Amino acid sequence: MASLRIALYGTGRMGTAIAASAEQRGHAVALRVSSSNAGTPPAGVDVAIEFSRPEEALNNIRLCLAAGVPVVVGTTGWYDHLPTVQAMVAEQNGTLLWASNFSIGVNLLFQVNRMLAGLMDRQPGYRAELLEIHHIHKLDAPSGTALTLARDIDLIHHGYAGWQLDSDPNGPRPSPLPIRAVREGEVPGTHEITWTSAEDRISLRHEAFGRTGFATGAVVAAEWIQGRKGLFTMRDVLEIQ
């Protein structure tokens, strides 16, 4: 892979980790956009990586697509605007890859979650709950990763319809999937799906040890989209069906 010139939108903790990962992989961060220079277009770069804030993401996406620069989006909390973004990508013949989580391990968790939800659809004695724990600086709750996990269970399991924070896991079927969102300390991210019956409990858990896994996944995605057109997710990068 040739060295890339990267525009980085968002210079917080994740932005710092992404810059370090990009440089370690031989790339250059040619532009850093924060609140002080918001609205700067990604001129003279090969790809943009967007990890800013939910209220800034849509405008940054628009800037990148208008400039013809492929963009990797890791900011969450903007997904209500996904149809608008799909239309922008089509109109501009652009390239955008989005994910609620770029960690390779989390994306494998997504796959296992879908498989288990399908098995549990035939086991009415089990009830699901979802726990997510993040640092106190995280702006959205539930996390985008938790919403992806919940959405996949909702799509596959007939016992669930949507999700709800702190709802009763033993409510009537179909019911919202209960999610508990905890904010404490500097936790990078923990997600756990638990299926409980009267006899036992099955849990799927992913615990991040730091931000490096998320950052590296975002840079890998930026490498992968070179030369491609359209709207993609990490499932495309990892070739997960």
pLDDT-based confidence at 27, cuts 50/70/90? very high
CATH of domain 5-102+211-238: 3.40.50.720
Asked if 229 is an active-site residue, the reply is no
Domain locations along the chain: 5-102+211-238, 104-207
CATH architecture of residue range(s) 104-207: 2-Layer Sandwich (3.30)
- Give per-residue pLDDT as tens, 72-116: 999 988 888 999 999 999 999 999 999 988 998 999 999 999 999
Query: Catalytic residue among 138, 157, 191, 206, which?
Result: 138
- 134, 157, 191, 206: which one is catalytic? 134
Q: Dump pLDDT digits (tens) for 117-126.
A: 999 999 999 9
**Catalytic (active site) residue 138:** yes
Residue 240 pLDDT: 57
3-class SS string, 101-145: CCCHHHHHHHHHHHHHHHHHCCCCCCEEEEEEEECCCCCCCCCHH
Q: What's the pLDDT tens digit per position in 144-161?
A: 899 999 999 999 999 999
Q: What is the pLDDT of residues 169-205, one digit of tens each?
A: 777 778 899 999 999 998 888 999 999 999 999 999 9
